[in-house]
Structure 1
Amino acid sequence: MRPPTLAIPHTVVRTFALSLVLLLSVSGVTKTEAADASANRPNIVFIIADDCTFRDIGCYGGQAHTPNIDQLAQSGMKFNRCFQAAPMCSPTRHNLYTGLYPVKSGAYPNHTFAADGTQSIVHYLKPLGYRVALSGKTHIGPQQVFPFEYIGKKNPDMKQIDKLFSECRDSETPFCLFACSNEPHSPWNMGDASQYPPAKIKLPPYIVDTPQVREDFSDYLAEVTYFDDQVGQILQLLDKHQFSDNTLVMVVSEQGNAFPFAKWTCYGNGLQSAMIVRWPGKVQPGTVTDAMVEYVDVTPTFIAAAGAAPQPDLDGKSFIPVLAGETDQHKSFSYGIMTTRGIINGSDAYAIRTVRGQQYRLIWNLNHETKFTNACTQAPYFQSMVEAAKAGDSNAKELVNRYYYRPELELYDCNADPLEMNNLAENPEYASVIKELKSNLDQWMASQGDEGIETEYDAILHQHAYKGMTREQARKAWETKNSKKGKQQGGNGKKRKANKSAGE
């Protein structure tokens, strides 16, 4: 966590700017050349979906119609190995804007907030002369950590974005815009679902095939296309104001969708993200990279793109060299954390941690003897899977049980098994792989101040309902509020057998 910075008076900023111009003139750089350098600083547009599995996007092999995103990929660079550090909306957005992993910033449960004194992308770019705006979904706090210009709620406001672009063009001011969609987050009620007849869509093999699932998945795909249209509108506004040639555009898909084995889990479908970057003159069109990057790298990358020095106390690091085509390597490992404490219909405490290397993913379910629940397990589509299991569908029974109950360790060969369905953890041939990855994960957790189960229990201290309470006060309030509810859900921390039937 970074200490808060002191606000610099505008008079000091102006004095410094004039001194810098004078210095540049003395050194042979004219005032005009200095102004040109400032004018050449790139604008930045970051567009993020909400609960979109990257595999469902057209250019990633998905069945959703996404012509705007697909065309952007042809004009820029597509990342095959981009990951975020938490498979829920709020911690994902906090680690994006701060460049810090969730536990370090304090923002690791859902509906969370960053610790006081944490700095965000606004603090880094605004002193460089940028207008830093956010239009659409927020789910971040407190405001002093994220002092964006907020222009529009829930979804990107195209009129406000148009106005921002116009003002920045007239004032010759660089901008960094975060356009944050609310799609395809449930309820899936946007877009044209007639493009996706339920009987014809393809379901991933880790989801039980029921009529309810097909109907909901059709509506979900329609919202992916709706998000693609939002991307297209923003790109058109850049063209309208003649900003396209000097704007770094980055589009990402956030965590996976709300169906099983995606959002709320540390599988690849929960943590992996689409990332496409267009930056004319910097990024070669139509390129693809296997460089491993994380959402915590986005803020450092934007800082570097703006021409500022790296921030050494951030967890992320700039991947400008990847964008420039100078390397196809960035990181050797990516990390993830999931906490159910305090989420809707969540298990009382089901801590999950993961590390993914170039080939293997290790998942550590720290409280694996409890039942895993979340908002997904309450949803009609999941309940239709449970009913299919009760009716004797063996595949449904296996998948539902696998979602509810996990072993302590899971190991997947992400190259041979990209959907992560074949757990290798009990195979003695992989003992050395597990040992190496577990050691790496332990070191990362220690570097973050992550104490595993204790950190899981303390998650409520980082949610607004318990803000300002001591650990003892928060835990007592939690136990009082959730004792009956926890017993009903089977997620109250008591040991349970892993072979319970799906229809219990």
Structure 2
Amino acid sequence: MRPALISFAVIAAASSAMAARAAPDSPNLVLVIADDCTKYDTEIYGGPAKTPHLMRLAGEGMNLTRCFQASPMCSPTRHALFTAKYPVKTGAYPNHTYVSDGVTSIASWLRSAGYRAALSGKTHINPPAAFPFEYLSTRPIPENKRPRQNPDFTAIDTFLGDCVKNKTPFGLFVCSHEPHEPWNKGDASKYLPAKLKLPPNFFDTPKTRAAYSRYLAEITYFDGQVGDMLALLDKHSLADSTIVIVLTEQGSSFPFAKWTCYDAGVGSGCVIRWPGHIKPGSKSDALVEYIDMIPTVCDAAGIKAPDDLDGRSFLPMLEGKTNKHKEHVFALQTSRGIHGGPDYYGIRTVRDERYRYVRNLTPGVTFKNTAIKTPWYGEWLAAARNGSAQAVGMTKLYQHRPAEELYDCENDPWNMRNLIDDPAFKNRAGILCDKLAAWMKSQGDKGQATEMEALKHIWKNAGDSVGEE
């Protein structure tokens, strides 16, 4: 059955006629999310990309150092974030996807509580009926082009002014398209290729350095968008009454990040500020997931959310009452349907506080994506053909993986040393393998059978265009 459609224009018009009214002291929400940004590349997590506004926000709030998402791709990540459910449960597990009939999102829950629910920038969520946001833009944008847009801060400025004037609380999602390729924004001259320290899972070539320079510049450009948003909150005297969350999303399209289930792929930077409730300059190492963000906000604002969510509130942690939340976090990757990808290449993973276990469903299949066709990866392959042992090792590890992998994330944060065959870790691998199997069963995830159904869950196959990734 084709999902129902609803016009964003109708949603916007209806926003002024909400039946419910929020309590006068209800906090507002601003959630800013990047696009393809490896957390380790940002200044706040020890990387070279300068992020002064994110650093400022961390000084005024809490830095969550172990935040993870349910998929290392844009579309399933955003569906999981907004619905507080894991991807297979909602049907939104491949890229360019959509949720099944009956799935609701934070947009509906906010509106039912008397909030305005708005989004500006990248969407990549479908069908619109399940995500009844006001779409903020000063210019008309065709729906199939929205996934590539950046936030419109002029429209956001107007929106905030209207909310202040009418004393209406709001939930605002500021969705950047940066630093997604093609890495053509920001000042790359600030990051001279020859002087850069490359991540340990990169093979060092001139084109790799040049691409990394442009990518870092675009992270700083995204940080400027964070600054623009914070400035607007200050302008409208909303900073003290607003919960601000900034997320870096999944890793970049460089190898071993996006499209993979390593920490650099499904790990996310996360900073949260809520004046008067979160201790400035605090840090938490608790395990949290994107699916927990919205339940936490609902808990803080007294908003009723459905009872069947996978995510759960970590408000006590934010308020300093505990530094624990979850014992395990989970994620999956469905490569079926991605641009330049294989016919199928499913990955499932679970992580505890220290170890990550990865199961590759079809280890005999060669992994590929759009990154394989880039000039810089071409240099990696050329070096491998010319006998470089490091290049051979890197390209083999990226494109030809074993059935199981196990990593000590404390001593190996880039997940480069597979411990699966080490007898000392046999028990740990077994425990995590069982946890992963139980999670998959709870989600209705049948592994390879679920992978083969993925194309049915891509939006264009439901009858509409999805735009670009």
**Secondary structure in 1 aligned to 2:406?**
strand
**Pair 1:301 & 2:296 matched:** yes
| Cα distance change on mapping 1:460 and 1:13 into 2, 3 Å | closer
Aligned-partner Cα distance in 2 for 1:58–1:359: 23
**Pair 1:265 & 2:250 matched:** no
**Pair 1:148 & 2:133 matched:** yes
How far does residue 312 in structure 1 lie from its aligned partner after superposition? 2.1
**Pair 1:104 & 2:86 matched:** no
Aligned to 1:131: 116
Contact 2:251 2:257 in 1 (8 A): yes
- Equivalenced residue count is 444
**Secondary structure in 1 aligned to 2:272?**
strand
Contact 2:109 2:305 in 1 (8 A): no
The 5-angstrom pairing of residues 211-290 of structure 1 reads 211-290=206-285
Aligned-partner Cα distance in 1 for 2:181–2:461: 27
For residue 313 of structure 1, the aligned residue among 302, 308, 316 is: 308
Aligned to 2:63: 78
For residue 423 of structure 1, the aligned residue among 418, 421, 427 is: 418
Aligned to 1:474: none
Aligned to 1:389: 384
How far does residue 388 in structure 1 lie from its aligned partner after superposition? 1.5
For residue 353 of structure 2, the aligned residue among 343, 349, 358 is: 358
Contact 2:126 2:459 in 1 (8 A): no
Contact 1:89 1:139 in 2 (8 A): yes
Contact 1:300 1:311 in 2 (8 A): no
Aligned-partner Cα distance in 1 for 2:436–2:307: 22
Q: 1:80-102, CA deviations, whole angstroms, 9 ceiling, x for partnerless residues? A: 10000100010000000000100
Aligned-partner Cα distance in 2 for 1:234–1:135: 11
Aligned to 1:483: none
**Secondary structure in 1 aligned to 2:194?**
coil
Aligned to 1:92: 77
How far does residue 310 in structure 1 lie from its aligned partner after superposition? 5.1
**Secondary structure in 1 aligned to 2:173?**
strand
**Pair 1:198 & 2:228 matched:** no
How far does residue 311 in structure 1 lie from its aligned partner after superposition? 3.1
* TM-score normalized by the length of structure 1: 0.86
How far does residue 50 in structure 1 lie from its aligned partner after superposition? 0.3
Aligned to 1:343: 338
How far does residue 38 in structure 1 lie from its aligned partner after superposition? 1.9
Instruction: Name the stretch that deviates more: 215-224 or 345-354.
Output: 345-354
Aligned-partner Cα distance in 1 for 2:445–2:185: 39
**Pair 1:55 & 2:40 matched:** yes
The 5-angstrom pairing of residues 379-458 of structure 1 reads 379-458=374-453
* Residue ranges of structure 1 left out of the alignment (5+ in a row): 18-36, 469-504
How far does residue 465 in structure 1 lie from its aligned partner after superposition? 3.6
Aligned-partner Cα distance in 1 for 2:324–2:153: 36
How far does residue 108 in structure 1 lie from its aligned partner after superposition? 0.4
Aligned-partner Cα distance in 1 for 2:414–2:323: 24
How far does residue 309 in structure 1 lie from its aligned partner after superposition? 4.1
Aligned to 1:32: none
Aligned-partner Cα distance in 1 for 2:47–2:82: 28
How far does residue 428 in structure 1 lie from its aligned partner after superposition? 1.6
For residue 364 of structure 2, the aligned residue among 323, 346, 369 is: 369
Aligned-partner Cα distance in 1 for 2:135–2:317: 31
Query: 4+ runs of 1 displaced by more than 6 Å?
Result: none
Aligned to 1:467: 462
Structure 2 counterpart of 1:147, which letter? P
How far does residue 378 in structure 1 lie from its aligned partner after superposition? 1.6
Aligned-partner Cα distance in 1 for 2:125–2:78: 7
For residue 209 of structure 1, the aligned residue among 185, 204, 211 is: 204
Instruction: Name the stretch that deviates more: 64-73 or 371-380.
Output: 371-380
Aligned-partner Cα distance in 2 for 1:465–1:150: 21
Structure 1 counterpart of 2:384, which letter? A
Structure 1 counterpart of 2:201, which letter? Y
For residue 116 of structure 1, the aligned residue among 82, 101, 105 is: 101
Q: 1:218-270, CA deviations, whole angstroms, 9 ceiling, x for partnerless residues? A: 00000000000000011000000000010000000000011000000000000
Contact 1:46 1:177 in 2 (8 A): yes
For residue 180 of structure 1, the aligned residue among 172, 175, 180 is: 175
Contact 2:250 2:257 in 1 (8 A): yes
**Secondary structure in 2 aligned to 1:199?**
helix
**Secondary structure in 2 aligned to 1:204?**
coil
Structure 1 counterpart of 2:26, which letter? R
Structure 2 counterpart of 1:148, which letter? F
Contact 2:113 2:304 in 1 (8 A): no
**Secondary structure in 1 aligned to 2:29?**
strand
Aligned-partner Cα distance in 2 for 1:81–1:450: 25
Structure 1 counterpart of 2:156, which letter? I
- Identity across matched positions, percent: 50
Instruction: Name the stretch that deviates more: 424-433 or 216-225.
Output: 424-433
How far does residue 205 in structure 1 lie from its aligned partner after superposition? 1.3
Aligned-partner Cα distance in 2 for 1:195–1:354: 37
Q: 1:371-394, CA deviations, whole angstroms, 9 ceiling, x for partnerless residues? A: 011111122221121111112221
Structure 2 counterpart of 1:417, which letter? D
Structure 1 counterpart of 2:46, which letter? G
Aligned-partner Cα distance in 2 for 1:378–1:115: 33
Aligned to 1:160: 155
Aligned to 1:46: 31
How far does residue 335 in structure 1 lie from its aligned partner after superposition? 0.4
How far does residue 13 in structure 1 lie from its aligned partner after superposition? 7.4
Aligned-partner Cα distance in 1 for 2:277–2:379: 49
Contact 1:125 1:306 in 2 (8 A): no
